[in-house]
Amino acid sequence: MDRIKKSVLACVRQCGPDDDLEDALGRIIARHGDSACKVILEVLTHLDFEKAAAARHWQQIIAHQSGLAKTLKRTVPLAVAVCDYFQWVKKSIGFAKLVDVSRFEEIFYRNQHDCLTGLHNREAFEEALAHEMAGAKRQGRLLSLLFMDIDSFKDVNDTHGHLVGDMVLRTVGDILLSTKRAADLAARYGGDEFLLLLPDTNKREARIFAERIRSKVASRALEGDYPFCIEISSGVATFPDDAGSGLALKKFADDDLYRTKRQTKVDCKQQKAAEIKHHLHQAGRAPACPGRLCPAIHS
């Protein structure tokens, strides 16, 4: 869908005479079918339709444009036909506000994304979750969710300052964006919490994906000489196995995240106890470096 949207926006921005725009959009529809109709109407009207409904509306808009041109005895731009169709024929919108499409897309992007990380924001995630959950229920598809946070993030801010904390957040955001698939949606939920929505993904695949992200984050070197590495923890939930609604899916993933953190603390204590026991048996010798005892940020 993103590729189609880029093509549609390029047409809207670059085409001169309206006939050129209609022809260019027609070529996109010929390549991508009903999906292109859906994207075109989203770009032109910000209305969301199912693919088949969007295709019907598009055909009716073209017919309406032709009818207006005959009545007015002049060329009717596509934008005018779209506005007249939805405002007066379908009555789907009230008073229309004119705004340049590039300016609108810029405002819409800022409204949907976190300015620090470039990820989707919480509001955009909630909208996407509701949409994906409805589709998963209707089509009998799997839907998994990763709930992640940065271990000991408060210590980073307290020890190294909030600018370094921002750099850590941006680093995690970059990794999520470069690792996710085209159909996935990555969001910053708030603070150091991140969410990743994985359509058509089962629990096992989601856990593998979570480990891949954890490994990439842990191995990423920060710019500057900072004596710590970044570690994240993840919780996983899958529809329909773990929850039947978006809210329940988030809660299950959040609970799973904290189960993981509790188990990590237990593992750390057991590892430390084993190392102390080992060192006691090695009296008189310098203790070996214990290494990273648990997945957390150490300063």
Q: Known catalytic residues?
A: 192
Q: Which amino acid is at 243?
A: A
Q: Which residues of 57-67 are buried (b: 16+ CB within 10 A; e: fewer)?
A: bbeebbebbee
Q: Which amino acid is at 28?
A: I
Distances (CA, A) of 38 to 51, 111, 180: 5, 21, 24
| DSSP letter string, 242-273 | T-SSHHHHHHHHHHHHHHHHHHHHHHHHHHHH
d(CA 178, CA 67): 48
Check: CB of residue 180 under 8 Å from CB of residue 199.
no
160 Cβ partners below 8 Å, 6+ apart? 226, 299
